[in-house]
Structure 1
Amino acid sequence: MYWQICPFEQLTREQLYRLLALRCQIFVVEQDCAYQDLDGLDILPDVLHVMAWERGELRAAGRILGPGVQTAEHVWIGRLVVVPAARGQGLARVLMQQAIEAATTHWPGYPLRLSGQVYIRDFYRSLGFVPVSDEYLEDGILHQDMELVCSE
């Protein structure tokens, strides 16, 4: 497994195509959620893309929004996807660990948040995230904002 963490301008055309195709496959088709994935944030300078490649195939991906992109005081992890064939093998956990490490390395000292789908809230809790908002409906799916609590 090869992990790639980079800004938009470092993606090749093929990598970008595969990334957007995977997000469409999961969010639009699998989750039956018609929404605007191309939201203008992917291309911003303070955004990183985290991708797992295996034998030239994209297996998992996520997006990190630096401070000032979504909120001034937080770094946000989102657009987390794992291909169906790779689920149940711990890849989502490694994806989150890679994203957390990249976020805290690039933007140290900023609280790390995510908008998690409620049905996998326990997964995020197992990584140290705690709920910081009420549940809310986003694109027809219950979500809840969560923040990483660092134990020191």
Structure 2
Amino acid sequence: MADTITWYVDYFDDLDIHKLYNLLYLRAEIFVVEQECPYLDPDNKDQKALHLQGYVGEKLVAYCRLFKPGDYFTEASIGRVVVAADFRKYGYGHQLMTKAIELQASLMNETQITISGQLYLKKFYESHGFIQTSETYLEDNIPHIQMKLN
């Protein structure tokens, strides 16, 4: 049975050093190490993002960034969607996307959202209402597709 997840939402300047370390660690653990994709994760977009973090106890287990229109894509966007490997079986990824979409609507007044999603997660994003809007392309040498929620 899954433990209760506690959600935090912070702008970059409101992240304390521990939260910042935790989110950078989780992103590197999954996107760089697990996916064997050497790339520079700190991309100077964190400063513009709203950071959605899901903790179980003291451990960051789910995370994503939310952007206003124009900060990443023309439309609002969600990115760096990640769940720690040991916690994927609990449905935290679905909770994360549901929460992210709700926050885009309630805090940013945005319902049109664009993502650059890894191709293997297409059905996951479709289950949240996203539709594929591009051909497959390589981003950091991993197949991606652009998807939109209207």
Moved over 4 A (4+): none
**Inter-partner Cα distance in structure 2 for 1:40 and 1:9:** 13
- The AA in structure 1 aligned to 2:37 is C
- The AA in structure 2 aligned to 1:121 is K
Q: How many residue pairs align between the two structures?
A: 146
**Inter-partner Cα distance in structure 2 for 1:48 and 1:20:** 14
Deviations 1:83-128, CA, capped at 9 Å, x for gaps: 1110121110000011111111222245111111111101110110
SS of residue matched to 2:109: coil
Identity between Structure 1 and Structure 2 (%): 39
Asked if 1:103 is matched to 2:107, the reply is no
Instruction: Please list, as runs of the form range in 1=range in 2, the aligned pairs for 1:52-131 lying within 5 A after superposition.
Output: 52-71=54-73, 73-109=74-110, 111-131=112-132
Is the 1:104–1:110 contact (alpha carbons within 8 Å) kept by the matching residues of 2? yes
Residue of structure 2 equivalent to 1:23: 27
TM-score by length of 2: 0.93
SS of residue matched to 2:38: coil
Gapped runs of 5+ residues in structure 1?
Answer: none
Per residue, is there more helix in 1 or in 2?
2
How far residue 70 of structure 1 moved from its aligned partner, in angstroms, is: 1.4
**Inter-partner Cα distance in structure 2 for 1:25 and 1:42:** 17
SS of residue matched to 1:63: strand
- Cα RMSD, aligned residues only: 1.1
